[in-house]
Homo-oligomer: A and B are copies of this chain.
């Protein structure tokens, strides 16, 4: 399997990217990686990490797309960027998957424009797996489509089902619509219509799920428009970060509380590990006709390695064909 990795995307590129690629090659004996970016810089990074193998190749790309650029413009103009080159590898079937920790907007726009959609999928969607108290859950869409139609949410649900069944090995996963009330008639125009559509499908639909219940992780696949999904994702991160930074300040404020903090360090560490997004790799961009994994902007080597593991999983389980099959079968 060949994997294209955007060597210049993310806060710690190219260092962490290269390190993650090297680590991944140690775990997966059957992968080849093509890293895109300034050839000299990346080769220097590889050698300073002591890498002398031939499974990681560098493809030269002189430009970089940043978070501050207009996504579609950047993709159209910067054909010599590390992201564009990596996308082209997938488009031309020179790679089976792409991983980038760079600009989410440019990645989503580029994947749709360059790689293209799976037939029948109107809108590809960003689908991170998030840690919940009772287990991991997926929020789809988490930001690719700020405005959605009800049919999009049904397709998100179908793609999420395929993911849970094949990647997480959960039979007949539960599906819910994120909504501000549990009753069928609650919500906005979008959720009311989507509720009806999904209820009439073959999916294991549990109805509406209120945001308060989301962190419990009792429902596998949660569908919503990209605006709401992104709000859920960012609130999850933001509230947790605020709570822990506030607690930390308080714990560090006196000798007595510092002692308490030391005793409870294993508890806080376990919590951080259990709720660490890095454990789950990146967010899959589902509905695109190629394996596209968006790694978190602040990805370290471990996160990149896990995103690569996720891409391998996708390929081994033939996810693209399974999504194709599910959409063809159920969207007619």
Contact = CB atoms under 8 A, between A and B. Distances in A.
Contacts of A276: none
A50 interface: no
Contact of A146 (B188, B212, B213): B188
Contacts of A225: 188
> In the complex, which range does the number of interface residues on chain A fall in?
35 or more
A80 to B, nearest CB: 24
Given A235-B235, A256-B263, A180 B210 contact: no
Contact of A242 (B178, B180, B216, B266): B216
A234 B324 CA distance: 35
16 contacts: A105-B181, A146-B189, A146-B191, A178-B231, A187-B227, A211-B233, A211-B235, A212-B234, A213-B238, A214-B238, A228-B231, A235-B236, A235-B239, A239-B239, A250-B267, A259-B263
Name which of A187, A188, A241 has the most chain B CB atoms within 10 A of its CB. Answer: A188
Contact of A240 (B243, B257, B267): B243
Contacts of A259: 263
A247 interface: yes
A215 B188 contact: no
Contacts of A236: 235, 239
B143 A180 contact: yes
Name which of A133, A238, A241, A262 has the most chain B CB atoms within 10 A of its CB. Answer: A238
Contact of A70 (B132, B185, B256): B185
Interface in A244-285: 245-247, 250-251, 256-257, 259-264, 266-268, 270-271, 274
Nearest to A250: B267
A165 interface: no
A290 interface: no
Interface of A: 70, 105, 132-133, 143, 146-147, 178, 180-181, 185, 187-189, 191, 210-216, 225-228, 230-243, 245-247, 250-251, 256-257, 259-264, 266-268, 270-271, 274
Contact of A270 (B191, B226, B250): B250
A185 B146 CA distance: 12
B187 A146 contact: yes
A180 B237 CA distance: 13
A8 B308 CA distance: 57
A261 B311 CA distance: 41
A187 B228 CA distance: 11
Contacts of A228: 227-228, 231
A273 to B, nearest CB: 12
Name which of A178, A214, A264 has the most chain B CB atoms within 10 A of its CB. Answer: A264
A143 B180 CA distance: 8
A236 to B, nearest CB: 6
A257 B264 contact: yes
B212 A238 contact: yes
Contacts of A213: 238
Contact of A215 (B210, B242, B262): B242
A189 B260 contact: no
A195 to B, nearest CB: 13
